[in-house]
Structure 1
Amino acid sequence: MAWLHFVVWGPVYMGIGLALAWWGIRGRKNGLPGGRLSVVTFATGLLLLIVGIGLRLISGPFSLRLDIPTEFWEWYRDYRFIVPLLLGILAMSVLALPVRARTGRGTANLAPRTPLSFTNKWWLITPGLVLSLIVTLTIAAGMASEPDARTGRYTMYFVDTGGGRSMGTGIYGWFSSLPSLILLGIMMVVAAIALFLIARPALNDDQEQDAHTRIIRTSNVLMVGTGALLWHLGLIFGSLAATASLRGNFSTSQGNVRSWTTFAALEPTLNIASIVAPALGFALWGAVTLSAIPSRRRALVAGRP
């Protein structure tokens, strides 16, 4: 029972713990200014965490205790891989708001502003690596998948056991991966548009404060997107771990024959990765939520007469 609790709630506890540690070390010194922007950011991050916790609950063994409609469970089982990506796209769209209109009160700056103007180039390494890993695993699993004889969907993985026999189990095949690849492309476009909308308007008279705010907003967009990618990656790891666990024992005239998948040795690693990846995703979403808390130093400066 303790292991089941860790599998279901471990990523939540670890993610929130990492987010609080980050906020205690650096985050509380670099919070957003108060107002509508902070409210929108806090609500978006909190909603992501709540939905994420809910999905952990219904997708784990404790879902058996819940009265979940069969239709919903079957839908989530088939389309669970796209849920984190949809959440990421929606959240990034919200974090691009409010879009400040260009007015004559802005400070003139001849340097062109691009979607990367307020981005630390190092921030792009993590999402780039995660995205590359997702695409690699997606293509590999898709090519290994075969159609289900009952539904025709590419969701099955078969192992030839010899003698005209085979054994099979589910895998992250083309049925799930093709929609995910489409959403990954949409997510990249939405992220670029969100960063453009944040960077494009002219700076306020207080250029330092405005630039600081835009840096945090840009970071939040990237963290939300990366968190969604990590959550999606965790589901892929979990699916591949379940596939790798396939074992078979058959009796023949020459004795018992045991069969397993070609990547069975990776099962423990895949299981651990399926916990670590969503934990890091939770940490990023938690960091976005905590960034809405105004920094104490800036609050004091703003309150001086």
Structure 2
Amino acid sequence: MPEPSSAPVHVTVTGAAGQVAYATLFRIAAGEMLGPDTPVVLRLLEVEPAMDALEGVAMELQDGAFPLLADVVTTSSAETAFEGTSWALLLGASPRTAGMERGDLLTANAGLFAPQGRAIAAGAAADVRVLVVGNPCNTNCLIAASHAPDVPRDRWFAMTRLDENRAKAQLAHRAGVSVAQVTNTAIWGNHSATQYPDAAHALIGGRPAPEVIADDAWLDGEFVSVVQQRGAAIVAARGKSSAGSAASGVIDSVRSIAEGTPEGDWTSLGVISGGEYGVPEGLVFSYPVESDGRGWKVAEGLKHDAAAQRRLDATIEELVKEREGVADLLK
């Protein structure tokens, strides 16, 4: 295999000794995220107590002998981690502990995401794009972006592609088809139990999913609840949160942004709302997003019935409350 000739792209991964990062990093190094002709420098950020574990990850990356992996930088300094980076994948977050309220979790995460936002603003490349994965990812994204006001608003994303992938898999299984047959599946709102997995606009083999499945009770009930609660079900089953599937969500999200979405299709991403579909401006809200690889826009013209609108209102309300709860941290 000839050596890549282009200059390496710097990719920052936070929480880099964690299980989601472990499932993601080798795929990035192998070229799955940015393509087989794009060399990368991985800039790996961890807290000081995890640096020994991170060095072990770095050794494994070296031992993988990936032709596209130009260098690995390990650090506990946000300033070093984000220096010159074009892709910032914010996987690390403060975990929820016993007795912790959601508001407490948001406040704890501000201590991570506010400084990271400032470090991105200070040192990242001019073309930087940021994907926030660490939960609660929508509002963590909002916090980080608020501390990097000079980074354009269209560079910030929160990951809901994992939820979309879960929804596609459920629809495919119910219809008895390959998941490749399922398109136009949108996740609206928050990456939480209030999210709205939208089967009404999904297509299966080019036909409306409700027409193919012909079971409105399942589509409006079990389908929605399974997708909303899938993360908790995985924790209950394996004792750990999603890692491999989360890594796929990261890879899929970046590829959709960088390469574009298929003609007539979209991907689900949390983006800073411009008021589309009546969502308050400034919330980080998951929409169906169309990309051409150079820029993106929220898919237009989708209609929601009264039941769907109630679900949208519920997830909007939750995100508004989250924003109000961290208002003092957005400065």
Q: TM tier, shorter chain?
A: under 0.3
Please, what TM-score do these two structures have when normalized by structure 1?
A: 0.25
Larger Rg: 1
Q: Which has the higher strand share?
A: 2
Greater helix share, 1 or 2?
1
